[in-house]
Amino acid sequence: MREFLVEITTTVPEGTPAAEVDRRRAAEAVRARELAAAGRLARLWRPVGELRSIGVWWAADEDELREEVLGSLPLRPWMTLTVTALESHPNDPARP
Say how many CA atoms lie within 13 Å of 66 toward its Cβ: 9
Residue 95: predicted pLDDT: 79
pLDDT, residue 51, reads: 84
47-67 per-position pLDDT tens digit: 998 889 999 999 999 999 999
Q: How far is CA 53 from CA 2, 9, 17, 48, 90, in A?
A: 20, 7, 23, 10, 27
> pLDDT-derived band of residue 89, with 50, 70 and 90 as boundaries?
very high
* pLDDT surpasses 80 at 96: no
